[in-house]
Each structure stands twice: as C-alpha cells, then as structure tokens.
Amino acid sequence: MAKILMVASEATPFIKTGGLADVAGSLPAALKERGEDVAVVLPRYREARIDGARRVAENIAVWLGQAKYSVDVQLAVERGVPYYFIDCPALYDREGIYVNGDGDFPDNHIRFAVLAKAAFGIIRYVYRPDILHCHDWQASLAPVYLKTALAGDPTFMGIRTVLTIHNLGYQGIFPPAMLPQIGLDTGVFTIGGLEFFGNLNLLKGGIVYSDAITTVSKGYACEIQTEEYGFGLDGLLRDRSTALTGILNGVDYSLWNPETDNYIAAHYSVDDLSGKSACKLDLLRKFGLPDEAAERPLIGIVSRFAGQKGFDLIEEIASDLASEDVTIVALGTGEMRYEDLFRRLAASHPGKIAVRIAYDNPLAHKIEAGADMFLMPSLYEPCGLNQIYSLRYGTVPVVRATGGLDDTIDEGTGFKFKEYSGAALLATLRDALAAWQNRERWKELMRNGMRKDFSWNASAGEYAALYHRLLG
C-alpha cells in the first residue's frame, strides 16, 4: 500500500468546471478500492459544496517568501477519501474559481502558490504521503517547492512526485516580476527551470521538477512531444520522455449510466434500448423543440466553449449542416465568441439548432441520454470524457481523431475524421447521418459502444503501478 496525497484545483462533487473535476473526484476512490491510501487537497472556494465538513487544523502559516498566509483546513470525506480544503478567505472566498467577468484573477499565481505550499502544511501536521500527485499548472509549484525551498527539510524527505497534465493549453504563465510573490528566488528562473520566453511558467516548473509525468491518454502523451501539440513545451517533454507516460482517464459509471441515472426521463440498457426514445423526447422538449424532431437524427454537444473544442469547424459548415435533415442541441459556456456563435446559429436555424448557454449538470445527462450522436470535433483533446459517457448511453460519438478521442473511439463504436477542416467534419457527419437511416446498423453501433468498459479499474491500476515503481 502506498500513501498518496493529490493536489488539485477542482473535484466532484464539490466544485467543477471540467473533466479535471471528474478525475480528481473519482480516481482517488478507485485507488482506495485497490487498497491504496489516498487523500486530496483542494482550495475552499466560496462555491465549493462542503456542507458537513469539519475543521481539522487552524492558523497554519503558509509562507511565500516574506509574505505569510494563515490558513485553516476543513475535512470532508467522500467515498472514504479525505478531501482537505485549504480555507483562506482572502484568496478563495470570492465569486468564480479561476476567472470572473473581467478575466483571470490577477492574483491566481498567489492563490495556487498558496494551495501548493499549504499541501506541505497538510503533510507536516495532518497526512504524510509517500507520493505527492499534482494535477495541472495550479498544483505544479508543489514539486518545485519540494525540490528547492523545502529540499533540506527532513519532514519531506523521500516523498516522490507525480505531475498529471490534463491540458497543455493551460500553463499558468505570469510576468517574471511575480517570482518573489510566489516565494521563489531567481535561481529557478532559468531555461532549465521556470523561465519560458521571458515569463514564468508554472506548469513547466512541474514538468522539470516532478519525478514522473503523466498525461490522460497514450495518444496525447505522444502528441505533446510534437511541435503541433506541444504549446512550446514539446522540446522539454521530449527531453523528459522517459519520465512521461499516458494513462487514459477512467469514468465513473456510478454517475454516468443510463440504467441508474436519475436525471434522465427513462432508464435503458444494452439489452433493452426502449427507454432511450423517451429520453429523446424529453430532451427535445427541454430545448423547446417540436416533438416531430424525434423522427430526425439528433446531435448533442456538451462542452466548455473554448478554442480547443473545434467549434470553428461547426461555424464553417453550419449552413450545409442545417440543410440536412437533422436537429442539433448544444449546452455550454465559456468564451464569448463561441457563446455568440451558438446563439447566432440557433437564431438563424430555429427549430433545428437550439442552444443553452449554461453550466447545467442534469441537462448534460439528458443530452447524453437523449441524443443519437454526440459531436466533439476538437482541435486537440487530452482525453475527453463526454465521448466515453456517450458510448455508455448508446449515443454514437462523432469525433476528430486526436488525443483521447482517437484512443477511445473506433469504427465499431463511432465516426472520426483526421484532417482539421470543415470539409472533413461535414463528410463524416454525412456518413453518420446516412448510417442512422439503417436502423439495424445503428443499433449495432450503439450496442458496441454500450458494451465498452472504461471504468477506472485498468487506469487506477496503471497509476498504482507507477507509484509503486517510483517507491522502488
């Protein structure tokens, strides 16, 4: 048994903006089921739902250079896993997680430096792990502190570090003048350290200073070592390739399963698909679409609205697509330009394209269950969870063959295209629409997907093997 402390910036069921939360909310429980001992550190945001948490430590001093942040620690236990919330109201008790209406919070470097440093307070006073497992740039300073400022401290000796990159597109880049504010000295501001084209790059620090690096699919682990997908860090990742592995995310079928999902209109299974049509009708009505649309194929989208997700391609082909006999429902929030794009598409194709600009978990479940196809034309996708959920709901994925999308979808379960172009997307969608007309072939595709098993079992085993390898 290994003792693992994870550091992350979001986790279900407490706080979520994207797939990182699904992973940080389900991998720990899966590891625990395998007999590992796991705890997680998170910020106590205003929006974090932690009723019933209790305070387990108070006034822990977290030093960033000369600046002292005093934090309390609240504990909530979820599926047997302790989640320690760093309570520091000046940093986390505000509207928004990473951003507000004006964009990124200007003190994000401090907010996540305190998170990373506070993890060592947990280690000193509450829970001493063998492995410190950090997720994304928000946790990336932890391995940096361990190997620099805290290197001589016997309390932390022997702790091994893992960094998981969920998305290389977000690196935590800040002006170099902020270095003292995160409690680091200029010694780390080198090309072999956190320096990145004249700026500070926190994710780079995590990559440089961690003992092992993982990312969330095998395909993405290869892609990020290329210039096309490397966001300027491909050279470093190639240098560290022996420490880098891809471990596909698992999914939590206790939450995402049409046989038990309480958000959907009717339950169904691979042996009895009949409930799915009630889900389709319910979904159409939720979007104010006519019942007759149930006779046409229905394409669903659930997504953060970000450049990564490939919506530029949808913009390119919108009028061609709308001339097909098809209905599209989209749920998402994010960048204004994509929110506007979907609003425009809905306004110009009423009754065919409908959009809900919101973050709405029950509606996300209804789309998984009610749609016939699920569209993810991502420019890049480290893993992607929605296409995996879609498989289980018999909602056939149409995806771009990149990263985790390419690794999880094949000809027997969905449709994919390689070239990032509107033409390639349109051709593939037309193939899918044609296949839908053949009810027997379509049911076969649905059933193939529903039988796939992407539960955490295998992937949690790969993490456990990595931890034990690191511990020798």
Which part of the chain contacts ligand ADP (CB under 6 A), choosing from 16-24, 34-42, 287-295, 448-456? 16-24
- Exactly one of 353, 364, 373, 433 binds ligand ADP (CB under 6 A); that residue is 364
Nearest to 388 by CA among 458, 324, 322: 458
Should residue 400 be labelled a site residue for ligand GLC when binding is judged by CB under 6 A?
Answer: no
Classify residue 413 by its DSSP letter.
T
Does 261 participate in binding ligand GLC (rule CB under 6 A)?
no
Identity of the residue, 25 or 297, whose beta carbon is nearer to ligand GLC in the bound complex? 25
| Using rule CB under 6 A, residue 459 touches ligand GLC | no
To the nearest whole angstrom, how small is the minimum distance from the Cβ of residue 86 to ligand ADP?
Answer: 22
Which of 324, 359, 421, 435 is in the footprint of ligand ADP by CB under 6 A?
359
**DSSP letter string, 119-155:** HHHHHHHT---SEEEEEHHHHTHHHHHHHTTTTT-GG
Q: Indicate the helix (H) or strand (E) that contains 445.
A: helix 439-451
Name which position in 97, 248, 302, 385 contacts ligand GLC (CB under 6 A).
Answer: 385
Q: Measuring CA to CA, which residue among 339, 264, 329, 341 is closest to residue 304?
A: 339
Query: Quick one: which of 32, 26, 30, 3 has its CA closest to 14?
Result: 26
- C-alpha–C-alpha distance, residues 276 and 265, integer Å: 8
Which entry of ligand ADP, ligand GLC, none binds 269, CB below 5 to 8 A by partner kind?
none
Structural element, H or E, at residue 375: strand 373-376
Q: Do residues 298 and 284 make contact, with C-beta atoms less than 8 angstroms apart?
A: yes
279 binds ligand GLC (CB under 6 A): no
Q: Which stretch binds ligand ADP (CB under 6 A): 148-156, 218-226, 315-323, 328-336?
A: 328-336
Separation CA 194–CA 371 (nearest Å): 45
**Binding marks (x or -) toward ligand GLC, 220..249, rule CB under 6 A?**
-----------------------------x
Which residues 6+ apart lie within 8 Å of 233 measured at CB? 168, 171, 196, 201, 203, 204, 207, 224
Could you give the string, one character per residue 240-269, with x where binding to ligand ADP holds by CB under 6 A and - elsewhere? ------------------------------
Examine residue 225 and tell whether it contacts ligand ADP (CB under 6 A). Answer: no
x/- site string to ligand GLC, residues 157 to 196, per CB under 6 A? ---------xx-----------------------------
Q: Which is nearer to ligand ADP, 113 or 247 (CB)?
A: 247
Is position 384 an interface residue for ligand GLC (rule: CB under 6 A)?
Answer: yes
Strand 353-357: give its sheet, edge to edge: 353-357, 327-334, 298-305, 373-376, 396-400, 415-417
Burial 149-165 (b: 16+ CB within 10 A, else e): bbeeeeebeebbbbbbb
User: How many residues bind ligand GLC, per CB under 6 A?
Assistant: 14
Angle, CA of 435, 412 and 402, to the nearest 5°? 100
Query: Judged by CB under 6 A, which of 164, 171, 303, 428 binds ligand ADP?
Result: 303
CB of 20 to ligand ADP, least distance (A): 6
Neighbours of 105 (CB within 10 A): 16
Rounded (5°) CA angle 293-374-329? 45
Q: Which residues bind ligand ADP (CB under 6 A)?
A: 18-20, 22, 302-304, 331-333, 359-361, 364, 383-386
Q: Which residues bind ligand GLC (CB under 6 A)?
A: 18-20, 23, 166-167, 216, 249, 381-385, 404
